[in-house]
Amino acid sequence: MNKNYMVSLIAVIVLFLIAYVGTQQGAGLQMVFGIILPYLAVVLFVVGFSRRVMSWSRSAVPFRITTTCGQQPSLPWFKQAKIDNPSSTFGVIVRMFLEIVCFRSLFRNTRMKLAGGTKMTHQLELFLWVGALAFHYAFFAVVVRHLRFFTEPVPFFVTLIEQVDGFMRIEVLYDAVQAGLPGVYMSGLVLLAAAFYLFLRRVFIPQVRYISLANDFFPLFLIMGIALSGIFMRYFTKVDIVSIKELTMGLVTFRPTIPEGVSSLFFAHIFLVSILLAYFPFSKLMHLGGIFLSPTRNMTGNTRQVRHVNPWNHPVKVHTYEEYEDDFREKMVEAGLPVVKMPEEQA
């Protein structure tokens, strides 16, 4: 049984408690968790992300190593797979767009399984594809919604996404009973559910559990902790939104301040976000930047149309077949070996 997830879970719980206890009245660490650590996390994120992307961009790729799933342009009677094996820049753009927006390669991912104990079968992992789509799009919606706290005035697209995301309301409005929740943002609930599904998949599928390490579980638990604390603040406890907005606007305008009324739960929430930002460039989450620079995806498959020569090849003196035959033609004829030119044809 893979116990690596316990290490990650305990680490996230400890981090949450450190921030929660450290920002209680009398502890006096609000400045650390509300200003210093968020600034430090942003610096680590920007510098680390930039360094990794720049190092990838400088990596030479002398050969065409595209991953293909279709026919390359060849003879006229062979139909080319223009998206799966693009030979033009436009085809690469379409392929990358579908990969980034729709996770096209993940949609076709298969898992091997023994049927009846002896027959090998390949099954589509559609649930993984749906879970990954839900996770990434929900995460994107949550990030965009939170721009409300860092902008003034709030951009129109943030308001639009909030309206679409919060279409569902749970409330009872009668003269005797008036109860309910604020507009329910589906993205937060979907993010939590999708992260939990990805965690369960790593625990209950033997092949995935075998290769899962603590650093695979840690970001999942971080995201679940961020989602849970955010959901709790919105629906189950009262937080001072005005004070939170004042704090966040102070951060983005470089006039940081710690207003009164900010709860310890919010400081723990923003601390987990800071940990995720700082951890991001050094983890597998960097596929966010790596997908754009993957040579197996962003190169054209035109090796039958264009000759690609490795620029690093050391110049080597070659001995062509014509030269070889000139040197050994008579001996080849004596040995009965076929030659292109007979000895009398040399003159």
Total H helices, total E strands in the chain: 15, 4
Q: Reduce the secondary structure of 154-172 to three states and give it as a string.
A: CCHHHHHHHHHHCCECCEE
For residue 304, what is the DSSP state? T
User: In terms of pLDDT, which residue wins out, 48 or 317?
Assistant: 48
Model confidence over 234-257: pLDDT tens digits? Answer: 888 888 899 999 999 999 999 999
89, 305 Cβ separation under 8 angstroms: no
pLDDT tier at 94, thresholds 50, 70, 90: very high
pLDDT tier at 25, thresholds 50, 70, 90: confident
Q: Round to whole Å and give the CA distance between 92 and 281.
A: 26
User: In terms of pLDDT, which residue wins out, 121 or 209?
Assistant: 209
Q: Round to whole Å and give the CA distance between 126 and 132.
A: 10
Residue position matching structure tokens 């030119």: 341
Both tokens assigned to 255: 């006039």
- With 70 as the cut, is the pLDDT of residue 175 above it? no
- With 80 as the cut, is the pLDDT of residue 259 above it? yes
Identity (one letter) of the amino acid at 120?
A: M
Q: What is the pTM of this model?
A: 0.83
Task: Please state, in angstroms and as integers, the Cα–Cα distance from residue 287 to each residue in 52, 56, 85, 228, 272, following that order.
Answer: 11, 12, 22, 25, 21
* pLDDT score of 140: 95
- With 60 as the cut, is the pLDDT of residue 58 above it? yes
For residue 25, what is the DSSP state? T
pLDDT tier at 60, thresholds 50, 70, 90: confident
Q: Round to whole Å and give the CA distance between 20 and 30.
A: 10
Average confidence (pLDDT) over 141-156: 93
pLDDT tier at 345, thresholds 50, 70, 90: low
Beta bridge partners of residue 122, listed in sequence order = 112
User: In terms of pLDDT, which residue wins out, 35 or 341?
Assistant: 35
* pLDDT score of 31: 92
Q: Which residues contact 55 (CB under 8 A, 6 or more apart)?
A: none
Collect contacts of 81-87 with beta carbons under 8 A, ≥24 apart: 85/301, 86/300, 86/301, 87/300, 87/301, 87/302, 87/305
108, 124 Cβ separation under 8 angstroms: yes
- With 60 as the cut, is the pLDDT of residue 1 above it? no
Residue 94: alpha-carbon gap to chain centroid: 19
pLDDT tier at 179, thresholds 50, 70, 90: low
Do the strands 171-173 and 178-180 form a parallel or antiparallel pair, or are they unpaired?
antiparallel
* pLDDT score of 195: 96
Q: Which of 259, 213, 209 is nearest to 239 (CA)?
A: 259
Q: Which of 29-43, 273-287, 330-344 is least confident?
A: 330-344
pLDDT tier at 33, thresholds 50, 70, 90: very high
* pLDDT score of 164: 87
Both tokens assigned to 92: 């690469």
